[in-house]
A and B are shown apart, each in its own frame.
Chain A
Amino acid sequence: MTYSVPQVAGEAESKVTGTETNGVWPLWEVFIRQKRGLAHVHAGSLHAPDADSALLAARDVYTRRVEGVSIWVVASTDIVASDPDEAPAFFEAIEKPYRHATHYDIPDEVGQM
């Protein structure tokens, strides 16, 4: 089978812009704590009209198989992200090997350090 269905008369223009946001529910990022003692980790996102609904929706979308013990939902617009193109400004240290423990030669005789 194929997912490329031939175009026939009456089908809409295949251009979809996706810029229309009127009436679309806001986006929420979902974080799940797998178990006590571990940090919440990003699981995905979903649309919901408000925070409480987002939490309920997160249960339906992301935790159907005992994925964890706690959920956070955060409005996507509240997340401030760094620009991957500017990664060097945010993640240095490749040129600073002395920040790593392995940079120092410790004789085996003195044991684990």
Chain B
Amino acid sequence: MNDAKFRALLDAEEKVESTDWMPEEYRQTLIRQIAQHAHSEIIGMQPEGNWISRAPSLRRKAILIAKVQDEAGHGLYLYSAAETLGVNRDQLMELLHSGKQKYSSIFNYPTLSWADMGAIGWLVDGAAITNQVMLKRCSYGPYARAMVKICLEESFHQRQGYEIMLTLCNGSAEQKAMAQDSLDRWWWPSLMMFGPHDSESTHTEQSMEWKIKRVSNDELRQQFVDMTVPQADYLGLQIPDPDLAWNEERGHYDFGPIDWDEFWAVVKGHGPMNRDRIEHKRKAWDDGAWVRQAAAVSSAVAVSA
């Protein structure tokens, strides 16, 4: 009975809301995915936070602060969406700190130059947008609604990144080389953001059946490549893939094989920054203990006054 009702909602392209009955596996899948998404926004503040104090101008610094602030906000919208499924935020934070829940592996790469602020906005946020535009059509209402707001804000993120790349590419030879180096380092990890091939992806089929995910990993990756190649051309930069070529027959770009050994190594914790990211997150949480304590005391005083 319940299951038939749930099924009917999905079939009618209606949203499932938090008060509706839902299969336990659907709920668990969403908790896992939304928590990972939230954790990614929060950990994703670190690679860019690394450059705030070294931004090349006051304008770029203000922009970068605004972007990192947005990411904190995105994390909070997403934790709230996860909480509608009956988990609490501290629980999720603990799962992140203990490594029992993951975040996107892209944030386990270091940001070595200012150009990385450009490449991250352009490529990493570009890939995130490709994924998140799809998630606006997710069957779970609170998650889909969070995506609407996030996508709007991500557009600023991507455009400011591309503008940094454009500025560097119109600058000195050294600046253009810096942009190229950054593209060389971020291109493949950005393609990995879409996850394993459809044939290898254990979650895709069920998620698509539940309409949590609407487009497969490989299709999203192809969309991203098709969109990004002309943008790289305009910058006069070379995408680091000798196999990249327009395929007239398919109407898409062909691209070379992804190094899945690297992908799995980073997922399993062996990327260049995995340990630092979590250590930094834990330290920030521990260092903030006195703030949480003070807030609790202060509100207790306000209530009793």
Contact = CB atoms under 8 A, between A and B. Distances in A.
- Looking at chain B's contact residues, the main secondary structure is helix
A76 interface: no
A98 interface: yes
B141 A36 contact: yes
A42 B158 CA distance: 34
A76 to B, nearest CB: 19
A61 interface: no
Interface in B110-150: 126, 141, 144-145
B62 A98 contact: yes
B17 A113 contact: no
A70 B62 CA distance: 42
A56 interface: no
The interface size bin for chain B is 20 to 34
B162 A106 contact: yes
A98 B63 contact: yes
Interface in A88-113: 96, 98-101, 103-107, 109-111, 113
Interface string B1-43: 0000000010000111101000000000000000000000000
17 contacts: A36-B15, A36-B16, A37-B15, A38-B145, A70-B19, A96-B62, A98-B59, A98-B160, A99-B66, A101-B152, A103-B159, A104-B156, A110-B231, A110-B234, A111-B230, A113-B159, A113-B162
Given A104-B163, A105-B163, A110-B230, A37 B158 contact: no
Nearest to B59: A98
B227 interface: yes
Contacts of B152: 101
Classify the interface of chain A: helix, strand, loop or mixed: loop
Contacts of A36: 9, 14-17, 141
A100 B16 CA distance: 32
Interface in A4-61: 33, 36-39
A73 to B, nearest CB: 14
Contact of A101 (B141, B159, B227): B159
Given A98-B66, A104-B162, A111 B17 contact: no
B155 interface: yes
B132 to A, nearest CB: 14
Nearest to B158: A113
B156 A101 contact: yes
A39 B158 CA distance: 27
Contacts of A33: 17
A47 to B, nearest CB: 26
Chain B CB within 10 A, most for which of A39, A100, A107, A110: A110
B163 A37 contact: no
A101 B129 CA distance: 13
